[in-house]
Amino acid sequence: MKAKLIRVYFGAIFMLLSLGLFAQQDPIFTHYMFNLSNVNPGAVGHNEFASVININRYQWVGMDGAPKSHSLNADIPIEKFNCGAGLTYVYDKIGPEKTNNVYIDYAYFLKVTESLKLGLGLKAGFRAFSANLDGLSSAGDPQFANNISGKITPNFGVGAFLYSNIYYVGISSPKILNHKYVNSTTAGGEKRHYFLVAGYVFFLNKNLIFKPSMMAKYVESAPFSFDINANFLLKNTVWFGMMFRSGDAIGFLTQIQLNNKWHLGYTYDLTFSKLRASSKGTHEILLKFEFSTEGKKDRSHWLF
């Protein structure tokens, strides 16, 4: 009886977290505005400084099977050829499933005006998907009778990123191909993603900058969602702000520039959905290392 209850509970959690198998979504990071190339390859290398960004996200802490996501992004500008290149690795674990994503990113930059550029990007790579479905077969659905181990699916994406020194807007589809992971005419797998990002910088005074930004996301077979963020930069050293995610959570963000190369950030998301009774919130930690390949010292690029 106890074993049966455990299976039923775990199955319920799995269905609750159905952004996995049934409408496969890539994990969303609250720090997205500091790592735009993760959702838009057109932004790779746009800020003229090479960087490596590691983000660890622990969602809905306290719940069994809650998502754990890790992102590692590296990109470098290649100014001689008006382009940028990068590498993206994302690990995501949710309930009985886990994915490893590896993608190469490339962007070519067109000069629109003296202060405005357009990045046109390509993303290509693959996803390795695994799932332990044995415990879910009691639900009576034969499609969950067998485990999935290391199923590899290739994919590619595109993005356009228009930016200046004070604003940006981008549209992208980093996953264009759809894939199914189970033998079913109704259950989904890897779904096509669409993103719209935008941000603006207001110089309030010599010590304080205000940067509102937003990200809208649509995934086939999943609800439309958007993030609205309001962040402030104090003395070009410390970020602090808030985030609102539709139908999900509010968040609090802070980030500090430790020195000319290292940045450390933290966010706490507090869900206001039905999961709030079981969740202790979501924690996200960012560590960023960046350096100039041309000996530049201007730090204004840090705005986005």
Q: Is 64 helix (H, G, I), strand (E, B) or coil?
A: coil
- Closest by CA to 232, choosing from 258, 204, 195, is 204
Tell me the average confidence (pLDDT) per consecutive run of 10 residues in the chain, 304 residues long.
39 39 66 93 92 93 86 94 96 88 97 95 93 60 62 94 95 89 53 93 95 92 88 94 92 93 94 73 94 64 58
Q: Distance (Å, rounded) from C-alpha 282 to C-alpha 104?
A: 29
Give me the pLDDT at residue 3, please.
43
Query: Please, which residues bridge with residue 73 across strands?
Result: 53, 88
Distance, in Å, from the CA atom of 284 to the CA atom of 35, rounded to the nearest integer, reads 13
C-alpha 145/C-alpha 129 separation (Å) is: 16
- Which regions of 132-260 does DSSP assign to beta strands (E)? 148-163, 167-173, 179-180, 189-190, 193-200, 202-205, 208-219, 225-234, 238-245, 249-257
| pLDDT recorded at residue 145 | 53
The pair of structure tokens assigned to 42 is 């057109």
pLDDT for the residue numbered 276: 64
Domains of the chain plus CATH, in order, are 2-303 (2.40.160.40)
What would the two tokens of residue 23 be? 């409408």
Q: What is the pTM of this model?
A: 0.84
Query: CA 72 → CA 47, 84, 95, 244, distances in Å?
Result: 18, 17, 22, 24
Contacts of 289 (CB under 8 A, 6+ apart): 51, 52, 53, 261, 262, 263
Q: Residue 55: how many CB atoms within 10 A of its CB?
A: 25
Per-residue pLDDT, 258: 92
Q: Name residues whose C-beta falls within 8 Å of residue 164's C-beta, 6 or more positions apart in sequence.
A: 115, 116, 117
